[in-house]
Every structure is written in C-alpha cells, then in structure tokens.
Structure 1
Amino acid sequence: MKNKALKSLLLASCLISSAGLAHAADVTLNVESWRNDDLAIWQTKIIPAFEAKNPGIKITFSPTAPTEYNASLNAKLDAGSAGDIITCRPFDASLDLFNKKHLVDLTALPGMENFSPVAKAAWSTDDSKSTFCVPMASVIHGFIYNKDAFDKLGIKIPTTTDEFYAALDKIKADGTYIPLAMGTKDLWEAATMGYQNIGPNYWKGEEGRDALMAGKQKLTDADWVEPYKQLAKWKPYLGDGFEAQTYSDSQNLFTLGRAAIYPAGSWEIALFTSQAQFKMGAFPPPVQKAGDTCYISDHPDIGVGLNTKSAHPEEAKKFLSWVASSEFADIYANSLPGFFSLNSTPVKMSDPLAQEFVSWRGKCKSTVRSTYQILSRGTPNLENETWVESANVINGTDTPDAAAKKLQTGLDSWFKPAK
C-alpha cells in the first residue's frame, strides 16, 4: 500500500511539474498602441487568429489614449518597461525611436518582401537601407459623393478636371445641394483633403516628391503651384460661411444630405456608412485630361515594430512576420474599412465603398503626402505651413503663387538637400 501511495504521489508530482513546465513555456507579448478604438478587433479577431496558429505565444493588447501615446511610450522605453511590440506612427516619430535604438532593424524579417518601397517609406531610414516597422495600413484620398444627388441631376462620375467642374456647376445651378462639403477653419482639412488629395496628379506622385526632397524641384515650380490654382477655383462651390466651417461641420453637411461631394480620406467610410441615409460612391482625384496617368495619396498610417529590450525577440518576430502576411491583411482591412492593407497581395474588401477606394491602386500610382518625410523637420514646419496656405488660397487671402513662394522661402531657410 505504501508503495502504491508513493507511486501515486510521484505521478501526481510529475503531472504538476509537467503542467508547470507547460505553463512556463507560454510567452506573453505585450502590444503598445494608440489605437484604443481597435481593442475589440484585437481581442475578438486578431489575437485569436494568431494564437490559434502559434500555441505557446500569448498576445496582450494594451492601448494608450492617442493624445498621450507618444509621451507615455517614450517614458516607458526610457525606463525599460515598454511592451514587446510597438505600434509605429509614420515617418519621423518612429524614425526617432529607431535612431535612439528603441526599435529593432526589421529589414530582413520574413514577410517584409510583401511590401513595396512606397509602403515601407514611412518606417524606413532616409536612405531606405533599413526598415524598422512592419507596415499595417494606409488611408487613401479621393472624393465621396451622394449617389442619389448624382442620379437626380444626371451627373456621371467625373474623371477629368473639366468634367469635375462641369459637375460642380450643375450641382450649383440646381441649388438643392452644396457642391463641395469642405471648410477652412481647421486649416488641416484644406491641406489634407484639398492640396494633398489632388496634388499628386500634378507633381506626379513619388517622382515629384523625390525631386523636391533632392532639391531638383521647388514648391514654386508649376507642378506644385497648379494644385493651388485648382483649390482657388473651389471657393464658389463651397457652402456659405465656409471660412468658419469646421471639419465636423463638413462631415455633418455631407451625411445629412446637404452636400453632394465630400473631398475625403478613406477613414470617413465607417462613420459615413453608419450616418448617411443615402447611397454613396467614390471617385479618385480627376486627372487633367483623358489618358493621363492618375496618382493617389495612399498614405501610410500605422505599423508595428519590435522593442530592442523585448525579453522575447524570437516570439515577437514570429508575430511580426504574421502581421506581414496576407491573412493578417485580410482580417485588419475588413475589420476597419477605410484603413487599407499595405501588403502587395490585394485584399478583397467586404465594404463596397472601401473596395472602390482600394481598387484605385490597380489603375493609379500610389504616393504619400509630400510634406511628411524629411521636409517637416525644421522651423517653419512645412506640413503646418501647408495647412495655413491651403486655407489662405481657398479663402482668397493669398494667390497660389504667393502661397508657393511663402512655403519655399520657409523651406529654404532650414532645408539643405543632400548633394
């Protein structure tokens, strides 16, 4: 009996020890992020999908309020208490973290081959030799329109600037709708949904942006001034008092059915779909003439990197390689319509408006906002100055040429292109 009891005790001890070893083998990776609106998607879709294929690796998603994220993350990184996975803002904020050796070089990470140089630009060094975050999603610019209004007025989707203004004239003449829902009070709206939306068709996307950073083009060149000349033409088509109209005012004008066209970012899709009581469609920025190559602002918004002080770098790399996969791309893009995968493998969107936006990648060349890489590191800040001048041009307080001259003079005061 004693031997039996001893054997039972030893067996139980072994089982307990084995359970303890199995438990100890589980690794938990903590994800830092500012996207607190994503919490449910991570908990119900992203984390279960990854953990099902990677037993022994657990993921904890720990978001911080967007306005507090940068300061909180920097404090944690300096203290050595940040999570394993760092959600990366685009361009300079994340580049600064890499330069401070807070982020691991992921250039050779399996899965990085799934992204184009443009997709990786927001999380790469200036010379493009090192990439330090896996691209997750971008937002695309264009125009969202009220289909019911277009049908009522017999307007076809405009593809050229002449067709665009003909449509605006028809909407204005009818008087039922404000042709364009955009204001200038918040400044950034005029630049982001105005200048950066239509501009790539004039400066030829990456070609012009690269030339500007290399000092081979200036903001006073015709290709950079012309978008401002177009914005100046928008003024008669905006609502009364547009100078005092905020971003949220513009959103409300459109979703309430009072405006026919909304110069948009794709991040509006989920909100507009939930609020608008009419059918919507979207079209890319019209080209100057039929047959021209079209360009879209396909702007990187979010990526993920690896904390250099992570206690579990190999497990973290497994997760990051999965984020670089088409499986993750499909889950994320369809959970957040309007935030599009940067993966080279196309994702079929379940939301028709989101699918329309993302389809433009197949016929237009993608670029990023011209002011975001390198050109806004000094004072005056080109991004912020572009906000001001875009609003001034639409308001009529600056001519397109005067606005361009102010921007170039400011840039010249601190930016010296590498020779």
Structure 2
Amino acid sequence: MDPFTRAMTSACNGVKNLKVNHSPVDFSAQLEKAPLSLSQPADGASYDIVEVYNTTLVEYASKGWLAPLDEWVAKNGEASGVNDIDPALLEKMKYDGHLYALPNQQNVHILMYRKDILDGLGIQAPTTYDELFAAADKIRAAEKSETPFVASFNADSDISTAFNNALTSQGGSWVNNEGRPTLASPEGAAAINDLRKLKSYMSSDALTLNNAKAVAALQNGQAAMGIIYAGRGATLIDPALSKFSNDFAFAPAPAAKAGGKPAAQWTQDGFAIAKNSKVGFDTLAGVLATSVGDSAMTNGAPFAVISRTSKLNDPTLQAKAPYWQAALDTLEAGADTLPLKPFMPTIQQSTRSFIVEAVNGAGDPMEALGKADAAANSALKSAGYLK
C-alpha cells in the first residue's frame, strides 16, 4: 500500500460507524473499474474515493462523476496543508474552473544515467536528443552496452506518451485550435524519426517495455541511460533492488532539439470524491486531506515527487530523493501535461496503432501519421467531439 493511501485508511480507523474497504488494483483495472462505479446510481457504486490522474480527472469531471472541493478547501486549506501545494499543481486538478482532487504527488520524465560510465567516457549528461544519440554511440563503441538506452515504449499504451514527448518538444501539438488532429505535420514526422533513432539504441523488445521493465534494464546494467518518470528513481538507488545503486545520477529530460522544451510529460496523481457516494462529504473530504498531510508527505518522499512545497524544500527529505532536483528542473524548463481535454483519451486510443506502425517503419512517417489523423477524426466524430 502506498504512503498516501495508507494515510487515508489509517484516518478512517477513528471514524465511528465507518467501515473501510480498500481495493488496490493495477492501472489497467483502475481505468475499467472506476468509471463503472462512478457512473452508477448511489446504490450501485463501489467506490467513495478514487485515485485520479490529470487525464482521468478531466474525463470523470466532465461527466459529472466527481464532487467539487472548492468550498471545502476555502474553509480548510490552511489547516489541511492544501494551501502549501503549488497553485500551478492544484490548477492541473481542476476542470471547468473547479477543483476536483487533492494532488499528493507529481511526476515527470527525467534522464537517469550511469554516472560512472558517462564520466569514464568523458560524456556530459545529454541535454538534447542529438547529444543523447552521440553518447549512446560512444557507449556502444566502448562496448559498455550494446543497448545503451531505454525508455517505456510499450505499444499498448506508453508509445503514445513517448510520441507526445517528442512531438511537443519539436514544437508540435495533437490538435489545432478547433480541436482537429494535426499529427501529420513536420513536427510529427520529426517526432517519429526521433523515436526510431531512440529505438535503435534499445533492446529488440523495445515495444514491449513498460516503466518497470525500463527501470529493470538500468538496474541490471543492460542500459546506461534512460528517460523515465522521476518517481522510478527511488528503485535505482536502493541497494536491495539495484546492482549499481551508487552509480546513478539524474538530470533534466533532454529536449528533442536545441532550444526546445524538455521531451517530457508532467503528470499529477491525487484522490477525488465520488459524487454518487452515500458517505457524508465532510467525512470523505477529511479523509482525502490526510493524503496530503505531514505524515503522508514525509513517508512518501523517497518514492515520489511529493506535492507540498515546504516538504519539497526540506533538506532531510531532499537527501532521500536525489532525483527531485532533476524533476523540478525539467518542469522549470517547460515540461507540461497532455492537453487537459476530455477528448484526449479518444485521440490517443485511436492513433496508437498508427504511431506504432510509423515507429516500426522505415518510410515516410507522414503516411502513417495521415492515417492517424483520419482515425482520430473519425473517432472524435463518433464520440460527439467533432461535427
């Protein structure tokens, strides 16, 4: 159980006539079970509090499934610690001007690398893809690793994130101002070429790698550099989990091109109250607040980029999470979230197979990206987002 959930379940123990049923499930199961419960009448709902991310929050809030927290925070923000959360972070937990979740952590892609290998070859931490390609070539030539780079390129989901990172760093976007897909663009083609090049430095099973497998490649010495969500850094420096725990260093995510923003995606995790819950709102809000309380933040510090500003600035906690600074520097350099629009899951799901086709191919990326735009347009029309 993660420290944020543990804080909430512990808080429930002292509430009279409140029985806690905690049902931890993996991410895929969350995406299936949470909407099913949230969309039910109160008598059929399974969950009173649900974990949300910036993209799922937009989906759930746009459908009226979550209870707004604005009034409660206005009254209790100082005492609960919510006022200690960066306003920019809270803004990402809003939809249509209303706050729907309390963020306990944030995440962003950073560069994780074997400092001993790079230092030994006279390589500085890469700040652009071209520098990363050059570093990978040098590592491979020195026979330090045949597959010097790793990232989460899983064809079932994560390849969309990798494409987003390269696309936005190249200056492109998923949609235009009218909400119409614009992947078949010079920036989109450049992003595909970037991913093809990155993939050439990865193992042959690159399109099966999720975040856990990517981290494992660094832990066991298969790869020397990786662009991975910052929160995974804790497992690299744990001697019980990593053969090279003393040899890793962290740096901001490289940009796809010089002068571009980092090729990284900013995400936020938090908890929200189901609007169809039969439990009293104030009771649930009080439980929710413990996920951003002092204890949860302190216990979560080694494993996540926590949300409370005062805790992020605590030198004792900083020492436990040496990857924090790289994450904060990546955000300072301009890394951002996906467009927080209800239609984004539809676009990503409808285009993913064509992105995989493009990354796996060797021809003009515009052909596959044109198919992606056509599929996204059709899906958006079917879902009522486009006419």
TM above 0.5, yes or no, is yes
Q: Is residue 392–residue 398 contact of structure 1 (8 Å, CA) maintained in 2? A: no
Matched, 1:175 2:136: no
Matched, 1:71 2:24: no
How far apart in 1 are the matches of 2:362 and 2:327?
36
Query: Cα 1:415–1:180, aligned 2, differ >3 Å: closer, same or farther?
Result: same
What's the counterpart of residue 409 of structure 1? 374
What pairs up with 1:132-143 in 2 under 5 angstroms? 132-143=100-111
Q: Is residue 4–residue 296 contact of structure 2 (8 Å, CA) maintained in 1? A: no
What's the counterpart of residue 369 of structure 1? 338
Q: Is residue 351–residue 372 contact of structure 2 (8 Å, CA) maintained in 1? A: yes
Matched, 1:150 2:134: no
Query: Cα 1:341–1:295, aligned 2, differ >3 Å: closer, same or farther?
Result: farther
What's the counterpart of residue 171 of structure 2? 203
How far apart in 2 are the matches of 1:390 and 1:418?
22
3-state SS, counterpart of residue 218 of structure 1: coil
Q: Is residue 284–residue 296 contact of structure 1 (8 Å, CA) maintained in 2? A: no
Q: TM-score, normalised by structure 2?
A: 0.75
How far apart in 1 are the matches of 2:130 and 2:52?
37
How far apart in 2 are the matches of 1:398 and 1:78?
51
Number of residue equivalences: 363
Query: Cα 1:96–1:392, aligned 2, differ >3 Å: closer, same or farther?
Result: closer
What pairs up with 1:88-103 in 2 under 5 angstroms? 88-90=51-53, 93-95=56-58, 97-98=60-61, 101-103=64-66
Alignment identity in percent?
16
Match of 2:266 among 298, 301, 306: 298
What's the counterpart of residue 331 of structure 1? 298
Q: TM-score, normalised by structure 1?
A: 0.70
Query: Cα 1:169–1:341, aligned 2, differ >3 Å: closer, same or farther?
Result: same
Match of 2:359 among 381, 391, 394: 394
**Which amino acid is the alignment partner of residue 355 of structure 1?**
W
3-state SS, counterpart of residue 112 of structure 2: strand
Q: Is residue 90–residue 301 contact of structure 1 (8 Å, CA) maintained in 2? A: yes
Note the aligned Cα RMSD (angstroms). Answer: 3.9
CA deviation profile, 1:98-124 (whole Å, cap 9, x unmatched): 466543222333236645456544x54
Matched, 1:354 2:316: no
CA deviation profile, 1:261-284 (whole Å, cap 9, x unmatched): 123123433433342221112233
**Which amino acid is the alignment partner of residue 33 of structure 2?**
A
* Superposition deviation, residue 296 in structure 1: 3.6
Higher CA-based Rg: 1
What's the counterpart of residue 30 of structure 1? none
How far apart in 1 are the matches of 2:364 and 2:234?
36
How far apart in 2 are the matches of 1:264 and 1:103?
30
**Which amino acid is the alignment partner of residue 71 of structure 1?**
K
How far apart in 2 are the matches of 1:271 and 1:392?
32
Unaligned runs of 5+ in 1: 1-36
**Which amino acid is the alignment partner of residue 100 of structure 2?**
F
The one of the two structures with greater contact order (alpha-carbon pairs below 8 A, sep at least 6) is: 2
Query: Cα 1:308–1:324, aligned 2, differ >3 Å: closer, same or farther?
Result: farther
* Superposition deviation, residue 46 in structure 1: 5.8
Match of 1:224 among 178, 184, 188: 188
* Superposition deviation, residue 156 in structure 1: 0.8
How far apart in 2 are the matches of 1:184 and 1:289?
20
CA deviation profile, 1:185-222 (whole Å, cap 9, x unmatched): 64434333x32333332237xxx46x646437722233
* Superposition deviation, residue 397 in structure 1: 5.0
How far apart in 2 are the matches of 1:340 and 1:143?
15
